[in-house]
Structures are given as structure tokens and as C-alpha cells.
């Protein structure tokens, strides 16, 4: 029965791909998500992602309208991005991190005001963008950062020493997520990339600090806790780091019932040629897994740690992601000239990025904003 429902849904998506109209009717009763109580808007977001994945690769960036190289959001820069400064288009996917929301702070770990973040997410939603969230929460056992690898997972599970603290942290997170509403008062649908890069050893929820079974329990518990806090506007993404072997992708997988989107984080640590090859290899693994588990996939975090190649976008990145089936690619933040992962004016590869942006299968906000989605009561 489940396979039949998914088949009908994807046939429907295939049929509307040829539609020239901007408003697409979706049979949301056929959309099954990790949150069984997911809102109509959240189901429509999933349909939108599935639809756009068939059209091409949506381009995204972290904190794109909060700051860039040499500027910060202000009354003069209410909605600006480095990417827009280069090509006149905004990222179709826009990422934000909620680290330190658990501490009751007004700004996140990257000094972005949560009030500004809320405002920019609402504005992005109005414009048709997709928003993704991550959460670099502090270590609940040691009080250190996410990168403090003191073992902590067991302490926040049921009957754990820090369970009450963790429940309070998730409650604060939930309150913020629920506060992000559209003009009709509906909670805006978002993609939440929970406890990412778990196969690496740098986070307290990573492979160096907990077992795969402990991680799976953590992920499942997180989804359930948000549901208990009446959060029903999220799609849940699972995103390991670069794979050491193909089997590693499944090693920490919490199960289809808790995941809506399959992701992968791959940075250019090993040089341009190795990066392009690694993209194809690892994304092939994810694509096979996605086909088996009937999920959509994305390159959920990436960037060039050693910029300088003036042809990096067209000769390195594009060959690595072309025809991989990913719905989007999200570049990490442009913090400063010695720490950036997207593009900005006068950067060495800015001209090449313009050529990259003209590829037919590369999509920006202005390429996807003409599509709107509404629920369809029946399948005809």
C-alpha cells in the first residue's frame, strides 16, 4: 500500500513538471512525512522540493542576507546578499543556525540576531525561498561548545543526568521555530538538519563520542520531542559528512520513519580534482540510498576551503554535482575574506560564477519563485 501511494504521488509530480502555470495543485494526502501531524504547508514544501529536484539544482547559502564580505544587514541593507551582488539573483535555499537559542541568548553562535533571523526567514518565504536550519547546540554535559567532544548523548536521554536541561533546551528551540509565521499566522515550513556530520569526530554527538545506536536514539528522540512541543512545520534532514566508505552512510541512519530528506556534507579539503571525484562518489552512494528508501537528496553543506581557482565553479564544482540528482547545494557562510565559502564581488572566481549561474539546471530564487503550490483534494 505504501509503495502504491508513493508511486501515485511521484507520477503526479512527473505530470505537473510540464505545467506552464505558476500554481500547482498537490494531492497532499499522499505525502507521508516523519511528522505524522505535519501541517499542510509542510507537506507542500516537501512537494515543492520534489518538484524542483526534477527541474535542476537549487543554489543555497548559509546566513546569506545577514552579512557578507564587508557588510551586515541594516536599515540600508535590509535584504542583500553577496550572491545577489554578483549575479543579481538570491540563493533559492537559505540556511540559518540556531546555536545558543538553548541558552536564551539574543544572538546565535555566529552573532546573528534571532530577531533578524526570524525577519529574514519570513521575508525569504514571501519571496519563495526554501529555508534550512541547523543547531550547533552546546555540550549539555560539559558546558562547552558543539565541538567539545565530552560524551553527552547518554546524559540527555530518558533518565539521564541532563534530561531536564535538554528538554528545556528543545522547548526553547521549539518556541522560536513556532514563532516564525507567515502573514496568515501559519508556521512557515522549514527543513531541519538535525545533528549533522555524525560520522565525524568533531561534535559531541559524533562518532568519537557516541555509538551509532546512541546516535539513532538521539535523533529519534529529538523528532519526538519537537512533536511533543507542538512543532509540526519541519521536514527532517539526515546529513553525514564525507564518507570513509559506502557503508558508513547507513551506519547512523535513524530510519525512514524519522527522515524526510537525505543529505551529505562535503568540503573541498583534498584539492580540486579530489573534491570533484569525491562529490560524484559520495553523492552516488546517497542517490542509491535515496532510490531504495524513496527519499529526495541534497548536498546540504559544502564549500571550498582553499579558494583561488578562477574556474572553480564551472570546472570543479559543476562536474561534481551535475546529474547527481541533488535537490540543492548549500554553501557555507561568507564570514570574512579569510573565511568564506560562497561568492562575492571581485572574488577571483566571480566571473566564472556568472557562467556557472547561467547553466540551465542551476536554479536561484528568481528561477523558482514563479511556482506556488496548493493542496488538491482528489487525484483525477
Q: What is the distance between the alpha carbons of residues 342 and 85, in angstroms, rounded to a whole number?
A: 12
In this structure, are residues 193 and 132 in contact, taking their beta carbons and an 8 Å threshold? Answer: yes
By C-alpha distance, which of 208, 288, 293 is closest to 253? Answer: 293
Give the pLDDT confidence of 163-175 residue by residue, as tens digits.
999 999 999 999 9
CATH fold for domain 55-370: TIM Barrel (3.20.20)
Q: Which three three-digit cell numbers place residue 351?
A: 566571473
Give the pLDDT confidence of 181-239 residue by residue, as tens digits.
999 999 999 999 999 999 999 999 999 999 999 999 999 999 999 999 999 999 999 99
* pLDDT value for 377: 67
376 pLDDT tier (thresholds 50, 70, 90): confident
Residue carrying C-alpha cell 499542510: 40
Q: What pTM value is reported for the model? A: 0.93
- Which value, to the nearest 10 degrees, does the dihedral of the CA atoms of residues 48, 51, 53, 55 take? -120
pLDDT at 317 > cutoff 90: yes
Q: What is the distance between the alpha carbons of residues 344 and 336, in angstroms, rounded to a whole number?
A: 10
Q: Which three three-digit cell numbers place residue 91?
A: 540563493
Give the pLDDT confidence of 126-144 residue by residue, as tens digits.
999 999 999 999 999 999 9
Amino acid at each position: 500500500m505504501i509503495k502504491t501511494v508513493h508511486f501515485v504521488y511521484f507520477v503526479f509530480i512527473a505530470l505537473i513538471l510540464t505545467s506552464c502555470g505558476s500554481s500547482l495543485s498537490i494531492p497532499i494526502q499522499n505525502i507521508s512525512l516523519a511528522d505524522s501531524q505535519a501541517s499542510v504547508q509542510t507537506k507542500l514544501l516537501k512537494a515543492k522540493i520534489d518538484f524542483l529536484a526534477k527541474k535542476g539544482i537549487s543554489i543555497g547559502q548559509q546566513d546569506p542576507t545577514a552579512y557578507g564580505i564587508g557588510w551586515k544587514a541594516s536599515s540600508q541593507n535590509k535584504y542583500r546578499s553577496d550572491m545577489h551582488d554578483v549575479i543579481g539573483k538570491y540563493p533559492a535555499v537559505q540556511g540559518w543556525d540556531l546555536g545558543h537559542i538553548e541558552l536564551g541568548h539574543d544572538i546565535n553562535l555566529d552573532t546573528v540576531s534571532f530577531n533578524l533571523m526570524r525577519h529574514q526567514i519570513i521575508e525569504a518565504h514571501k519571496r519563495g525561498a526554501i529555508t534550512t536550519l541547523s543547531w550547533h547546540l552546546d555540550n549539555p554535559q560539559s558546558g562547552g561548545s558543539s565541538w567539545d567532544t565530552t560524551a553527552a548523548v547518554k546524559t540527555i536521554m530518558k533518565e539521564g543526568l541532563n534530561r531536564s536541561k535538554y528538554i528545556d533546551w528543545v522547548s526553547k528551540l521549539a518556541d522560536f521555530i513556532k514563532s516564525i509565521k507567515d502573514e496568515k499566522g501559519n508556521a512557515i515550513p522549514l527543513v531541519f538538519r538535525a545533528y549533522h556530520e555524525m560520522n565525524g569526530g568533531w561534535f559531541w554527538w559524533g562518532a568519537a563520542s557516541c555509538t551509532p545506536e546512541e546516535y539513532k536514539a538521539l535523533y529519534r528522540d529529538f523528532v519526538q520531542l519537537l512533536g511533543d512541543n507542538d512543532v509540526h512545520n519541519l521536514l527532517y534532514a539526515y546529513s553525514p559528512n564525507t564518507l570513509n566508505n559506502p557503508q558508513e552512510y547507513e551506519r547512523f541512519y535513524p530510519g525512514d520513519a524519522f527522515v524526510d530528506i537525505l543529505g551529505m556534507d562535503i568540503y573541498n579539503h583534498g584539492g580540486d580534482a579530489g573534491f570533484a571525484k569525491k562529490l560524484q562518489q559520495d553523492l552516488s552512494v546517497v542517490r542509491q540510498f535515496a532510490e531504495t528508501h524513496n527519499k529526495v537528496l541534497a548536498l546540504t553543506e559544502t564549500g571550498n576551503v582553499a579558494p583561488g581557482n578562477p574556474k572553480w565553479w564551472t570546472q570543479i564544482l559543476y562536474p561534481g554535482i551535475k546529474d547527481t540528482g541533488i535537490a540543492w547545494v548549500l554553501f557555507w557562510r561568507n564570514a570574512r575574506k579569510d573565511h568564506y565559502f560562497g561568492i562575492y564581488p571581485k572574488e577571483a572566481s566571480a566571473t566564472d560564477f556568472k557562467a556557472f549561474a547561467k547553466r540551465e539546471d542551476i536554479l536561484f530564487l528568481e528561477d523558482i519563485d514563479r511556482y506556488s503550490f496548493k493542496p488538491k483534494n482528489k487525484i483525477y
